[in-house]
Amino acid sequence: MGTQQSTTLNSDSTGKQTSGNYGNLGDGTSDWFNYVRAKDGGIAGIGATTDAAAAVGANGSLIAILKTMRDFHKAEDVAVASGDYGIPVLAQRNDSLTTLTSATGDYGLPAIGPAGEAYVVPTPPLTATPAAAVALSEAATAALATNLVIKASAGTLYTLTCFNNNAAARFLQLANLTALGADGTVPAWIYSIPAGGSIHLNFGPFGRRFTTGIVACFSTTAATKTIAAADMWLNAGYK
């Protein structure tokens, strides 16, 4: 016995097909298909292209709801306006910062505190020992000295603490060299330290770059190097 298919077609007064029902192939498993053709606004549930966007949380035609969803997406750098709405991002309150996921790579919720503030874990965590890749190298005088080669090759200086043990002011000079230069050398950086005083310098996350090397010394003159007595105690952090 051959296959059978049931078909019903409907047309308008001009002969244009408006809907159709297509039956299965008689095998009891194939799908049925419905076809509907209507003018704009002809089906209330779908709505019309002139429908206004539905209010958030309100019912409306399919077109009205789709228009509301379209407004969830904001273009970059668009100014915030009163009444704007979007898709909220949920977060889980986690005052003790306990583990919320079972394994690395799992999906999870952002963690917030009791006031709704976002928790951000520093890298590396404050309780962890910094890895060698991020920890600064340290150079320090073992006693009062006239100079210190902080690094004998190109590097970046991040922190420096220096004490002047002399009864007169001294100039701390930093030179872009691999070894102590001769008197008369022009330094790259100059800092005045009062008698019995000290300074602490923090050059921030990017530091001060030295393309050749980093050498510190005490000088009795500012603009050029005139080596001073061994009254410098210095500690530096560099990479």
- pLDDT grade for 60, boundaries at 50, 70 and 90: confident
pLDDT for 14 equals 63
pLDDT for 49 equals 86
Q: Work out the average pLDDT over 166-175.
A: 97
pLDDT for 129 equals 62
Q: Work out the average pLDDT over 50-54.
A: 87
| 28 vs 203: which has the higher pLDDT | 203
Lowest mean pLDDT among 61-65, 68-72, 77-81, 182-186: 68-72
| 107 vs 161: which has the higher pLDDT | 161
Residue 127 pLDDT greater than 60, yes or no: no
Q: What is the mean pLDDT of the chain?
A: 82
Q: Which of 15-29, 75-89, 96-110 has the highest mean pLDDT?
A: 75-89
DSSP for the chain, written as a single string: ------EEEEE-TTS-EEEEEE---SSS-SPPEEEE---TT-STTT--TTPPPPPTT----HHHHHHHHHTT---TTPPP-TT--------EE-TT----SSSTT---PPEE-TTSPBP---SS-TTSPPPTTTSPEEEE-SSSBSEEEEESSSEEEEEEEEEE-SSS-EEEEEESSSSPPPTTPPPSEEEEE-TT-EEEEE-TTT-EEESS-EEEEEESSSSS--B--S-EEEEEEE-
pLDDT for 2 equals 46
Does this model's pTM top 0.85?
Answer: no
pLDDT for 180 equals 97
- pLDDT grade for 218, boundaries at 50, 70 and 90: very high
Instruction: Read off the pLDDT of residues 128-142 as tens digits, 9 standing for 90 and up.
Output: 566 666 789 999 999
Lowest mean pLDDT among 28-32, 115-119, 142-146: 28-32
| 67 vs 143: which has the higher pLDDT | 143
Q: Work out the average pLDDT over 161-171.
A: 97
Residue 172 pLDDT greater than 60, yes or no: yes
- pLDDT grade for 1, boundaries at 50, 70 and 90: very low
